[in-house]
Each structure stands twice: as C-alpha cells, then as structure tokens.
A and B are shown apart, each in its own frame.
Chain A
Amino acid sequence: MKPDVLRGHLDALLLATLDGRRLHGYAIIEALQLRSGGALDLPTGTVYPALRRLERAGYVTSEWSTVSGRQRRTYHLTKAGQRALVQERNAWREFTAAIEGVLGEGPWPAQA
C-alpha cells in the first residue's frame, strides 16, 4: 500500500493499535503490520514523530518503563484519545459505506 495514502490515516491507525493496551514503539509497528497482513509498510521511522504529535495533542501518554529487561517508551490512550478513536471509527464507517455504494458491484438503485 502506498505510504502517502497511509499517512492520511496514520493517526487513526495508531490510536486503534493502542486501543485497550500499552505498547512500546516497535510493538505498535509489529501490531500494525500483523493486523494488516503486512500491507501497511510505512517507513517505521515515521511512526515515532506521529506518536509524539498524538501525545502533544493529548490523545496518548507515554512513559519509560522496563519491558523484557530493556528500557522502552510505552504509549497508551488517554480518555481524549479514546473519544477521538470512536470518532475516527464512525467517520471511517461512513466513508467506506459511501465509497462501497459507488465502487461496489451491486445493482444501481432505480432512478425516481
């Protein structure tokens, strides 16, 4: 999938990946790739500035903690981040329903 297309949805993808769990940066990248079947192949370096931006926006918080014996910065959603994720999911459902209505292969509705 083209990185430019993904960039427009990166915030929502990161919020969804962090839904209900705390993950460090590389675990977020692995989860994105796993969940997308490998189709989401952004340069991994672009994820970290995006996470910091989400933190500045108040959608995620982070702290350094020991994971598997190593110090890592782990991220999790804030309440504002959870609300933003709900909005993103609703917007995505509306968008895909509208696009599916046009691009899908079903019959066109009869004209009035």
Chain B
Amino acid sequence: MARASVIDDYVADLDARLPGGRKVKTDLLTEARDSLEDAAECYRRAGFAEHDAQRKAVEDFGPVAVIARDYQGELAVAYGARTLRSILFVLPATHMLWEGARLIWLGGWENAPGGNPPPQWYMPFAQISDSMTWAVSIATALALLIARLWSRRTADNRLIARCAAGVAMVAASAALSANVALGVASMFVNPALMFHTPVLLLASVFAVLVLARLTVMARKAVRFAV
C-alpha cells in the first residue's frame, strides 16, 4: 500500500487546506497530482524505489504549507473573479427582467393602481435605486479589468483576491440594499401596486433572492481571500 500513499497523502493534505470553488480546486489538484506522478516516474526511471521516488517528488513540489498559500491565493482570485462576473451579468439581467414584467403586466406607471401621485421624494429615490444597477455593473466590469491588468504586475494573488472580494462585497451589498429599500418604499407609497400585479411581486421577490445569493457569493469570496 506504500505505493500510492506519499503522493495521496500530500494531495489530501493540500486539499484539506484549500477552501474555494470546487471546479477550480479540482482542476488545480488534478494538475498537482499529475505533476507529482510525472516527477515520481522520473525518479523511478533513475533507479529509485517506489516509495523513495514518491517522497522525492513530494519534496521537490515544496512544503505543503507554502504551496497551499500560493494555491489558496489562486483559488481566492478565481472565486472573486467568478463572483464579479456573476454580478456583472446577473444584476442587469434581473433588473431588465423586472422592468420587462412591469411593462407587460402593468404598462406605464400611470396605470398603477391607487390613483394618488407618489410623494415628491419617491421618484428621485426610485431613480437612484435603479441607477445603482448600472453603477454596480460598471464598477464590477472595471474591477475585472483592473484585476487582469494587475495580474501582469504583481505575483501577490492574495492581494488581488482581497481587492476583488472587497469590490464584490460592496457591489452586491449596495445592489441588495437599494433593491430592498425601493421595495419597502414602494409598499409604503402604494401598497396596492404589488398585490394588483402578482407577477411584479414575484419578480421583486425573485430579484431580492438573486441579489441575496450574489451577496452570499461575495461573502464567500471574502472568506476565501483572507
């Protein structure tokens, strides 16, 4: 059983030290195992016994604590970038879905039930809240671009990961807060609106759930990066 144990133990130890996205982690660990097996094969060809060949391959690969630090940086950057990409594509899509549902099921705002015009503060508040979607999308697009360019200038993956996760956390939280605040304000201003068009209520709940999911992803990105 000694044949596979040294490399297996090393990869298992590395695996246990790496919190991160499953797909990228599996990819990294598969590549690490391939490399270790290639190295062990070289040592076997050079005349080393199986156990010694594996031991030397693992020694060449580096101390697991040191290697795990580098791998964790890469995993954290990958998850941070994935979160930013999700925010960039999902947030505008969710916003347009809600606006599409409103146009189909309600039409113009003049068709809103209740009759009374909204208070003066409501429309600027709603516009700011709507603008948040596009502001957050632009910020995440810029963050992705900067992360790519920054990768050319620094080898410090953890620093890039922290910045990407920080931007993702702020962006997702801001979008979620703006959405919830607008929903609460709309209920306060015109409670009949949502219940008059249940599809809008469903679209609103769906949007909050999507934004909450993005915020959870951003929180995980922060956890992987620290």
Contact = CB atoms under 8 A, between A and B. Distances in A.
Interface of A: 7, 10-11, 24-26, 29-30, 43-46, 48-50, 52-54, 56-59, 70-73, 84
Interface stretch (B58-66, B85-93, B167-175): B58-66
A45 B29 CA distance: 11
B63 A48 contact: no
Interface of B: 27-28, 31-32, 34-35, 38-39, 42, 60-63, 66-67, 70-71, 73-74, 77-78, 81, 147-149, 151-152, 155, 157
A7 B61 contact: no
Nearest to A24: B34
Contacts of B73: 49
Contacts of B71: 45, 48-49
Given A46-B62, A49-B74, A25 B151 contact: no
Contact of A48 (B32, B39, B148, B149): B32
Contacts of B34: 24-26, 70-73
Contacts of B27: 73
A43 B35 contact: no
A10 to B, nearest CB: 7
Contacts of A10: 155
27 contacts: A10-B155, A11-B155, A26-B34, A26-B35, A26-B38, A43-B61, A43-B63, A43-B66, A43-B67, A45-B32, A45-B35, A45-B62, A45-B67, A45-B70, A45-B71, A46-B67, A46-B70, A48-B31, A49-B74, A49-B157, A56-B81, A56-B151, A58-B148, A58-B152, A70-B34, A71-B34, A73-B27
B139 to A, nearest CB: 19
A5 B62 CA distance: 16
Contacts of A72: 31, 34
Nearest to B72: A49
Residue among B38, B62, B71, B148 with the highest chain A CB neighbour number at 10 A: B38
A15 B38 CA distance: 22
A52 to B, nearest CB: 5
A25 B31 contact: yes
Contacts of A29: 35
